Amino acid sequence: MLGERILSAAADELVRYGYAKTTLDAVARAAGVAKGTLYLRWRTREDLFVAVLRRERAAMQAEILAELGDEPADLRALLVAQVRASCRRNLMSALMLRDADVLGGLARAAEERGLATSGFVGYLVALREQKLIDTERTLAEQATVVSSMFIGYFTSAPMIPSSLQVDGCAAELVAETIHRMLVRPEPLTPAEQAAMDATTRAYATFDEEHP
């Protein structure tokens, strides 16, 4: 489809040159279309690139749901799937890190449209309200730990000696560390496990109307 070809070209240009240096002329050339074709579908340059991020997020959420599979979904399984998906998708990890080189001012626009955090804090709130995770720590403390672990993992690699770097994507390691901070001492009852599954899948499902 033409729209998908344009979005793919825009994503490639964004990763390669960053938002500030990526022009609509370059996107049109890469997609093999006239520049005017872009304006027929998106009113502004920002609208086009927000559409790129929206598509990336939808694809990422689909990958997360696929990895969760048919087994009961819980916080740890979600964290593993989310880290793995972030490792595969440069744009989503850049958005999470507010990478100025890649996104520039686009990060603010994405945040205003609900694409920056993918609602993880809202997910934590839902788990806390149902007492499915530890509530001794404050929401701010838990959100700080989650953000620190995600951001630290994706930014620390260049500073770690090659002999100490973990091969591949250390999703299990990151997930286990965060999970230890959030899990409650008491095991979940069967009813609570069902609530955890429902809440986790609701978070992992991309909502086009309410991103």
Mean pLDDT by 10 residues, the chain (211 residues): 90 83 91 91 88 85 92 93 84 64 64 62 94 96 89 78 79 91 94 96 70 40
The distance from CA 52 to its chain's CA centroid, rounded to whole angstroms, is 13
**Residue 94: per-residue pLDDT:** 67
Distance CA 95, CA 110 (A): 8
**Residue 60: per-residue pLDDT:** 85
**Residue 209: per-residue pLDDT:** 43
**Residue 11: per-residue pLDDT:** 87
**Residue 57: per-residue pLDDT:** 82
Structural domains of the chain in order of their starting residue, each with its CATH number = 1-41 (1.10.10.60), 59-204 (no CATH)
pTM: 0.78
**Residue 148: per-residue pLDDT:** 87
**Residue 96: per-residue pLDDT:** 61
Could you identify the residue written with the tokens 């979600």? 78
**Residue 211: per-residue pLDDT:** 40
Tokens encoding 88: 């595969």
Tokens encoding 23: 């022009």
Distance CA 96, CA 60 (A): 13
